[in-house]
Amino acid sequence: MIDLFTLGFLQRALAAAVLVSLLCGMLSTFVVLRRMAFIGVGISHSAFGGVALGFLLGVDPLWTGIAFALGVALLIEWAQTHTRVAEDTAIGIFFAASMALGLVFLHLSQAYNVDVFGFLFGNILAIGARQVWQILGVTAGVLAVILAFFKELVFLSFDEEMAWVSGVPVKALRYLFLVLMALVVIVTIYLVGIILVSALLVIPGAIAQNLSRRLKNMVWVSAGVAMGSAVGGLIFSYGIDLPSGATIVLVLAVLYLGTSLLRPWPPFR
């Protein structure tokens, strides 16, 4: 346990885990209430195309991943509002196209190495100081936006039609929320990888929904559960030598099953 406070790579991993899980926890409540779990899956897997493009161009995959995820998120929203394609169909189209592009980019760059594996399945123990600062910058920006538009996001989550009638800029907020999701997905890749990102966007909010009935409490419960699971899962995985990303997700899954038994008696009303 002393290693956690003396080894640099573990200190960086813990700092990144706290920041990323805080973001996912706060956003997860809105994802669950708005039933956008599949969009999270689509955006997270589409980020693979951007990451692979970064390896092909020889630039930081974080920035190409952000650009790619943002583009796909906005295209999904555009497709469902300006065409006759349903939301889940649009997600499936762009999800598949982005993954296919990613495979083509990897083939062209011949970057089948440990870095690619880390982006797919997460490798937070290998995170560097530069990545921690990048995560901190994204965290500060996303949290500032959430706090600035908290009331509007709550309104949008509960009754989108009433929000539109009341003069809330629903369309702009929908695009904004997708942008936030894309940014959070990219930094979460460091923690659990592309394959498991959607779990951190869904499970904390589902747990909070089991434990509370008031949205404000749900947001904080979700954030607390996400951070506790990330730190606990990281420490546990280090102690018994298991993949950190998978361990964090399994901890969350166990907590969800446990709290489901308490659902008739939520402790946080």
Q: At residue 47, what is the residue type? A: A
Range of the domain at 42: 3-260
For residue 201, the domain's CATH number is 1.10.3470.10
Q: Cα–Cα distance between 240 and 69 in angstroms, integer?
A: 34
Q: At residue 1, does pLDDT exceed 70?
A: no
Q: Cα–Cα distance between 38 and 36 in angstroms, integer?
A: 6
Per cent of the chain over pLDDT 90 is: 7
Q: At residue 267, what is the residue type? A: P
Q: At residue 174, does pLDDT exceed 70?
A: yes
Q: 210 in a domain, yes or no?
A: yes
Q: 268 in a domain, yes or no?
A: no
DSSP 68-120: HHHHHHHHHHHHHHHSS--HHHHHHHHHHHHHHHHHHHHHHHT--SHHHHHHH
Looking at residues 188-214, what average pLDDT do you find? 82
Looking at residues 135-155, what average pLDDT do you find? 87
Q: At residue 3, does pLDDT exceed 70?
A: no
Q: 14 in a domain, yes or no?
A: yes
pLDDT by residue (tens digit) across 76-128? 888 877 777 777 788 888 888 888 888 888 888 765 555 666 677 677 777 87
Q: 223 in a domain, yes or no?
A: yes
Q: 175 in a domain, yes or no?
A: yes
Q: 188 in a domain, yes or no?
A: yes
The pLDDT assigned to 115 comes to 63
Q: At residue 4, does pLDDT exceed 60?
A: no
How many folded domains does the chain comprise? Answer: 1
Q: Provide the pLDDT confidence category of residue 225 given band limits of 50, 70 and 90.
A: very high
Q: 265 in a domain, yes or no?
A: no
Q: 269 in a domain, yes or no?
A: no
The pLDDT assigned to 263 comes to 60
